[in-house]
Amino acid sequence: MRYRLGVDVGGTFTDLLLFDNESGEFWRHKTPSTPHDSSEGILNGVNALTKETGVDASEIEFFLHGTTVATNAVLEGKGAKVGLIVTEGYRDVMQIARSFVPGGLAAWIVWPKPQPLAHLEDTIDVPGRMDAEGNEVRPLDEDAVRAALKKLKGQGIEALTVSLMNAYLNGAHEKRIGEIAAEELGDLPVSLSHEVLPEMQEYERTLSTVANAAVRPVVGNYVSNLRTKLADAGVTGKLSLLRSDGGLMSSQKAELHPVNILMSGPAGGVTGAVWVAKNAGLKNILTLDVGGTSTDVALIENLEPRRVRTTEVGHLSVRASSLDVKTVGAGGGSIAHVPELTGALRVGPESAGAVPGPVAYNKGGEQPTVTDANVVLGYLPEDLLGGSFQLDREGAKKAVQTIADALGVGLMEAARGIIDIVNENMFGALRMISVQQGYDPRDFALMGFGGAGPLHVNAVAKLMGSWPAVSPVSPGVLCALGDATTRMRTETARSFSRLAKDTDVQELIDLLDEMAAQTRAELESDGIPADTITSQFEVDVRYAGQAFEVPLTINQDTLREKGIDGILARFDEEHLRLFTFNMDTPHEIVNLRAVALGESLELDAAELEQGDGDPSAAKIRDHTLWMNGKEHDAVIYDRARLRQGDIIPGPAIITEMDSTTLVEADCVASIDAVGNILINPKAEG
């Protein structure tokens, strides 16, 4: 068994990437997604790919999967009906929530408060109480618990959450309720807050556990169904799912704690970008994942993606680690329009989507989109790949002409205006995860992937000052590559909540050792060899009195050498970078986390044949496009025929199966050793 298979399910296509562990060679395949049952599309792709490559399904050692099943269940309101048991007197915890309303001042008047995932009528409080030190103040009333469970069963709940006050310090009462629930409710899935999120702040802990319960039946059905179908198809390798934080978790753990895969989909592209960057010799990367409807952006520093402690899906914000991915409504299907009120061009966030799609796709679309503007300007040739895929340029021109007429400008100016605005929208999202977080984008390269990322990456790199602009190998299936090349990960958290000056460093080290042993045991139970597991540690610190903390990565060697002062120096440095000031207030250590990581895939990508710098062997034909206010002669190249070291002066277009790369007029592209396209400004003179 020498192969890894990465699978990413999108709204339109399911992407598969088969990876040879020994040679680094890989094969890609795209197949239409099957929204009614994603596993059907996956199996279609597996069968097609194994047939095409001659690889037997039984040779696939790892089946690695990024999925939006949990995300969609939340966004579409299709999660399970959740029953909630809380401590007596705290029945309204989900309704009170936090005093925060998104939007401006008027939002207090017009904002419709979303219905909590656990409804008030399905929430029951029971007697019993732990104090703030985790000591039992009042014993659990088991008769009241049984009565509550019988009532919830009669109300037709499909999953149960138990979240009691101070359970993060002592989960004995929650554990007992879970045992009683097994007697009263049979196989109904039960989520206990001290297992899902052993941290203080009862609302965040309750919300995260309720979200976990809501998606458990949906994810459980999907995973078990997929596991069965893969076994029937002869795939006997280990099935793992991509976590929101970019690591992998076993399918069994995903069924128990699906709250950790809520942002599984976007995480694949970021982890794929890390692997590409490593092979390209780049350390700092901004990612630009451009799809049909939206663009996802993220920041990678020293080959480590930036992570945050919350996962946001729609209006839901749960306490679970995820990659810091920002999304903006700017994609190939974003619709351009000119409102009568302002007479100013707008692009997005409305999208033509896959159906009816852009006008150029000839699927019934009538409104001008970003893709149509790219076709009009000549950035997307109408006869891609030798004519196997035809775009309707005349239809696109007619659609974009409506924008030109509304603005009183020429067709090409209107088309370029659409592109400039969507690029500015992407630029704004990238500034949010770089400049607004205290990073200088000029210290980063910009990597464009997804179907339309390589088409925009050159222009956005100019706005950011981020060079080189990178178009990775197989940009359209990079999410599947990320699924195939990342590693197993698990974490646990503890609330500490103590002033730094009152903290004994040895106590901190002993607690981290205990947490590390717990996470290592989890990975070992998933079959990861003990000698390949590494541990990392994180600590959340704030100035006493602050409402938000700053997460810091630490190691125990530094902790032993520099003690608590080493952590505080790191915190002051990070706080100054983020907020440009520090305070004289005492420091408070809030939460601790231990992370266990499996072995990373230390495998170089396959090298391309060495060329002589002349790309003419890959030339498809001459072409004309519109850029910088005038027409330019350009050349269209077939990426599959380019060689290592080839130099391609702009303007040029490089086409492949799953994407198109645009090199602008004042830039030049080069092909690196493993086939990435690196675009830089032309040297002056």
Each residue of 82-99: pLDDT tens digit?
Answer: 999 999 999 999 988 887
Say whether pLDDT at 11 is over 70. no
Q: CA 314, 319, 322: angle at the middle one, nearest 5?
A: 75
Mean pLDDT within 338-342: 88
What residues does 632 pair with on adjacent strands?
Answer: 625
pLDDT in tens, 342-384: 889 999 888 786 667 889 888 888 899 999 999 999 999 876 5
Q: Look-up: residue for tokens 């999967």?
A: 65
- The region, left, alpha or beta by phi > 0 then psi within -120 to 50, assigned to residue 357 is left
Q: How far apart are CA 495 and CA 489, in angstroms?
A: 21
Model confidence at 684, pLDDT cuts 50, 70, 90, reads low
Residue 479 φ/ψ, nearest 5 degrees? -60, -40
Q: How far apart are CA 202 and CA 205, in angstroms?
A: 5
Which DSSP letter does residue 81 get? P
Mean pLDDT within 463-483: 89
3-class state of residue 471 by DSSP? strand
Q: How far apart are CA 685 and CA 682, in angstroms?
A: 9
pLDDT in tens, 517-535: 999 998 888 888 888 999 9
Residues 667, 681 contacting (CB under 8 angstroms): yes
3-class state of residue 122 by DSSP? helix
Count of all residues that appear for the chain in the document: 685
Say whether pLDDT at 294 is over 90. no
Say whether pLDDT at 386 is over 70. no
Highest average pLDDT, of 143-152, 214-223, 322-331, 654-663, comes from: 143-152
**pLDDT reported for residue 26:** 81
Mean pLDDT within 312-338: 85
Tell me the CB-side half-sphere exposure of residue 24, using CA atoms within 13 A.
12
Mean pLDDT within 443-448: 96
Say whether pLDDT at 387 is over 60. no
Q: Where are the alpha helices (DSSP H) in 54-106?
A: 69-75, 93-96
Lowest-confidence segment of 222-231, 557-566, 644-653 by average pLDDT = 557-566
CA quadruple 381, 385, 386, 387: dihedral, nearest 10: -70
- The region, left, alpha or beta by phi > 0 then psi within -120 to 50, assigned to residue 371 is alpha
Q: How far is CA 204 from the centre of its chain?
A: 21
Mean pLDDT within 158-176: 94
Integer CA distances (angstroms), 75 to 134, 205, 313, in order: 36, 20, 7
Cβ partners under 8 Å of residue 36, min gap 6: none
**pLDDT reported for residue 32:** 75
- Report, in this order, helix, strand and coil percent for the chain, each rounded to 5: 40, 30, 35
Residues 116, 83 contacting (CB under 8 angstroms): no
Q: How far apart are CA 666 and CA 635, in angstroms?
A: 14
pTM of the model: 0.84
Cβ partners under 8 Å of residue 595, min gap 6: 489, 490, 491, 519, 535, 536, 537, 538
Say whether pLDDT at 559 is over 90. no
* Tokens representing residue 355 in the block: 């159906």
3-class state of residue 283 by DSSP? coil
Mean pLDDT within 27-44: 82
What residues does 130 pair with on adjacent strands?
Answer: 136
Say whether pLDDT at 66 is over 50. yes
What residues does 161 pair with on adjacent strands?
Answer: 84, 191
Residues 82, 214 contacting (CB under 8 angstroms): yes
Integer CA distances (angstroms), 177 to 88, 138, 142, 344, in order: 14, 15, 8, 60
Please choose, from the candidates 268, 326, 650, 681, the residue with its C-alpha nearest in 3D space to the C-alpha of residue 482: 268
Say whether pLDDT at 1 is over 90. no
**pLDDT reported for residue 385:** 44
Please choose, from the candidates 566, 295, 249, the residue with its C-alpha nearest in 3D space to the C-alpha of residue 446: 295
Residues 138, 173 contacting (CB under 8 angstroms): no
Please choose, from the candidates 651, 15, 625, the residue with its C-alpha nearest in 3D space to the C-alpha of residue 291: 15
Q: How far apart are CA 295 and CA 331, in angstroms?
A: 6
Angle subtended by helix axes 393-407 and 370-377, to nearest 10:
100
Cβ partners under 8 Å of residue 2, min gap 6: 20, 21, 22, 59, 61
Residue 575 φ/ψ, nearest 5 degrees? -65, -40
Angle subtended by helix axes 202-232 and 38-53, to nearest 10:
50
Residue 224 φ/ψ, nearest 5 degrees? -65, -40
Say whether pLDDT at 498 is over 60. yes
Q: How far apart are CA 495 and CA 485, in angstroms?
A: 33
Residues 38, 21 contacting (CB under 8 angstroms): no
Say whether pLDDT at 138 is over 60. yes
pLDDT in tens, 263-289: 888 888 899 899 899 888 999 999 999
**pLDDT reported for residue 14:** 82
Which DSSP letter does residue 641 get? G
The mean of the pLDDT values for the chain is 88
Mean pLDDT within 454-468: 96
Model confidence at 106, pLDDT cuts 50, 70, 90, reads low
* Tokens representing residue 125 in the block: 């409080």
> Who wins on pLDDT, 104 or 275?
275
Percent of the chain residues topping a pLDDT of 90 = 46
